[in-house]
Amino acid sequence: MKGTLFESVELLKAIDDVYQYPLRQSAIGALEIFLVESREV
């Protein structure tokens, strides 16, 4: 990601947070449902 269009302080912090504080299984399920429903639109 370094040197790309998508590099930003906010994105790098978010990626770091995901690695340090992984999602609970219930949050993973909720995200999966959201992504599936949003794709159907």
Domain locations in the chain as residue ranges: 9-39
> Is 41 exposed, middle or buried, given 0-12, 13-18 or 19+ CB atoms closer than 10 A?
exposed
Tens-binned pLDDT, residue by residue, of the chain (41 aa) = 667 777 888 988 998 998 999 889 999 999 999 999 998 76
**CB 23: neighbour CB atoms within 10 A?**
11
pTM over 0.75? The answer is: no
**CB 25: neighbour CB atoms within 10 A?**
8
Q: Cβ(7)–Cβ(1) under 8 Å? A: yes
